[in-house]
Amino acid sequence: MSVSFLRFSGFSALLLVAACTSNKNLEQDSPQVSAEAVAPTLPAAPSKAKAPRLAQLDTTHFSPRFVRSFQETNKAETSFDVHGSWLLLSPTDSVAFPVAELPANAPVVYAATEKGRAYRLTLTRRNYSTVHYVAEARQGSKLLSRQTGLADLNPSFFADIEIPKDSETGLPFSAYEFQAATPQQQGFAVLIGRSQDADKAQIYGGTQPQQNAWHNVPTLRRQ
């Protein structure tokens, strides 16, 4: 009786071990589900639209009027950036504000004569966007017109490049356009040659009577 019980107990132990081993093998053979598979998939966060960088145009280097007009004109552009005196249009394209052509806070004089009339333009660059101008037209000793004030850079200067024609050589040249900033001078514009043409200037009068002397003015040259 005692021996049979021992044999049965030993046999039962073997069965138990075999069963445990079989269950363990089944667990190892069964595919394991990862925590990532069990966890619910979260939707990706919506990407934020690239914010315009034109706010970097501050009044330290630009006039408030130019900042407003530039932001309004180019509000759809989100890749623009400003670095010093450069406007970055894209990672591979940039254009300089007209700082090389005109020294800061130093008067630059341009002049021309034609048909007995003498034209004189004095420009002083105040910042990256704005110049102070004094334009005088004389017939002998008689002052025909004197225009003075502030003019801001055309807010589309990087795209709308002015191409006046040199009245002396007949050749075109590229120029920056500065537009009068006050209603009293509306329509009055000064063009300054870019780069190697910085020694040239052109003046365009508006429709106001006091600007009649500035129609069909010859190209002025730096003195």
For residue range 111-121, list pLDDT tens digits in order. Answer: 999 999 999 99
Instruction: Using pLDDT thresholds of 50, 70 and 90, give the confidence band for residue 56.
Output: low
pLDDT digits (tens, 9 = 90+) for 181-204: 988 888 899 999 999 999 999 999
The residue that leads in pLDDT, 16 or 223, is: 223
Instruction: Using pLDDT thresholds of 50, 70 and 90, give the confidence band for residue 207.
Output: confident
How many separate helices (H) and strands (E) can be counted in the chain? 3, 11
Q: Which residue has the tokens 């910042």?
A: 127
**In sequence order, which residues have a C-beta less than 8 Å from that of residue 12 and are 6 or more positions away?**
none
The residues with which 122 forms a beta bridge, in sequence order, are 109, 134
Instruction: Using pLDDT thresholds of 50, 70 and 90, give the confidence band for residue 146.
Output: very high
Can you give the residue ranges of every domain in the chain? 54-96, 108-222
The residue that leads in pLDDT, 65 or 57, is: 65
Q: Mean pLDDT in the chain?
A: 80
- Residue 206, pLDDT score: 85
The residue that leads in pLDDT, 86 or 131, is: 131
**What is the side-by-side strand order in the sheet with 86-90?**
81-83, 86-90, 93-96
